[in-house]
Amino acid sequence: MELTKHEHACVRLEKNGKVLVIDPGTFSKGPVLEGADAVLFTHEHWDHVDVDKLKAAPPTLEIYTCEGVAADLTDVPQKVQVVRHGDAFEAAGFRVRAFGEWHAKNHPDVPVVQNVGFLVDDEIFYPGDALTVPGVDVPTLLVPTGGPWLKLGDMIEYLREIRPRRAFSTHDGLYNDIGFGLVDNWLKMESEHQSADIRRLKVGESVTLS
């Protein structure tokens, strides 16, 4: 399986000629849905969901998400399938399990929205905007490293609780070069601490997972 990092919170997975995309939001500027067979959305925030991208995509595209997102996708041409914590399903040949229910707390005056994380092929866990601990082995973690709801110290504690063999930065589109340098340094230190492959992929960079 090949994983490609796109802007901010979007990743693209390819396996056996099939393509699964997770959280192609408005920060993801490239043709991230080109050739995609299925898409997963963790929650309803615009940096994770871009309705215009879906309207321009083929109606055969499979969409899996939580109820909160589905309520906002009534005008897209694709079929939207609702999944919840504990569900297991297949999306374009990828085996997916859903974990978690709620977004991390953000602003005290902003309601907490639904958020579901996805474990793909028992290999890659993408928690969305939460620090969900799925309670199963996670070989590869897509770890959030930036956002108004997250402190870098919390991110490190999350890595130490999950203890993946590999972890790659996601939710990092709000950083400038100075911020990226800080994130890279923290991830490098944690990589050495855990003797694991923990780092930030550049936009467009791919890794092959086996």
Mean pLDDT (the chain) is 97
**How much is the average pLDDT of 114-131?**
98
**In this predicted model, what pLDDT tens digit does every residue of 27-54 receive, in sequence order?**
998 899 999 999 999 999 999 999 999 9
Q: Give a three-class secondary structure readout of the chain.
A: CEEEECCCCCEEEEECCEEEEECCCCCCCCCCCCCCCEEEECCCCCCCCCHHHHHCCCCCCEEEECHHHHCCCCCCCCCEEECCCCCEEEECCEEEEEECCECCCCCCCCCCCECCEEEECCCEEECCCCCCCCCCCCCEEEEECCCCCCCHHHHHHHHHHHCCCEEEEECCCCCCHHHHHHHHHHHHHHHHHHCCEEECCCCCCEEECC
Task: Using pLDDT thresholds of 50, 70 and 90, give the confidence band for residue 20.
Answer: very high
**How much is the average pLDDT of 60-73?**
98
pLDDT value, residue 4: 98
pLDDT value, residue 210: 79
Q: Does pLDDT of 7 surpass 90?
A: yes
**In this predicted model, what pLDDT tens digit does every residue of 134-169 receive, in sequence order?**
999 999 999 999 999 999 999 999 999 999 999 999
pLDDT value, residue 125: 99
